[in-house]
């Protein structure tokens, strides 16, 4: 397996793991129980859950522009929903952009 394929596989694994982190943190935010006090209540949880599902699906079945889409989702997650999950998604974006 070439180096590019290994990096792509690492990006996919990181996207799935960060999607799970976003999902758990969004569920906590949905019920106003958050790891960090950085949410807007139930709206933050709803946005986070929707974007977490998108990140997990992009990790399972990537498309051509997956790193760019993950970058946009990561920034939106940091601004509106969850901080730790957004940083993890941006890390997956950086890994995918390197390849």
The pLDDT confidence band at residue 1, using thresholds 50, 70 and 90, is very low
Q: How do residues 52-86 score in pLDDT, each as one tens digit? A: 999 999 898 888 888 899 999 999 998 888 888 88
Average pLDDT of span 5-13 = 78
More confident residue, 50 or 1: 50
- Specify whether the CB–CB gap between 18 and 88 falls below 8 A: yes
| pLDDT of the residue at 5 | 60
SS3 62: coil
Please state, in angstroms and rounded to a whole number, the distance separating the CA atoms of residues 12 and 30: 26
Q: Domain residues of the chain, as ranges?
A: 3-98
Select from 99, 78, 94, 81 the least CA-distant residue to 14.
94
For the chain, give the mean pLDDT. 84
Which pair of tokens denotes residue 57? 């699906």
Q: How do residues 15-36 score in pLDDT, each as one tens digit? A: 999 999 989 988 887 777 766 6
- Specify whether the CB–CB gap between 82 and 41 falls below 8 A: no
The pLDDT confidence band at residue 3, using thresholds 50, 70 and 90, is low
């Amino acid at each position: 397996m070439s180096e590019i394929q290994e990096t792509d596989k690492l990006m996919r694994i990181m996207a799935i793991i960060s999607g799970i982190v976003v999902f758990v943190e969004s569920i906590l935010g949905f019920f106003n129980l958050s790891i960090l006090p950085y949410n807007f209540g139930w709206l933050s949880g709803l946005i986070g859950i929707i974007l977490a599902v998108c990140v997990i699906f992009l990790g399972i079945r990537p498309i051509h522009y997956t790193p760019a889409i993950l970058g946009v989702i990561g920034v939106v997650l940091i601004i509106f929903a969850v901080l730790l999950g957004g940083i993890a998604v941006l890390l997956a974006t950086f890994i995918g952009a390197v390849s």
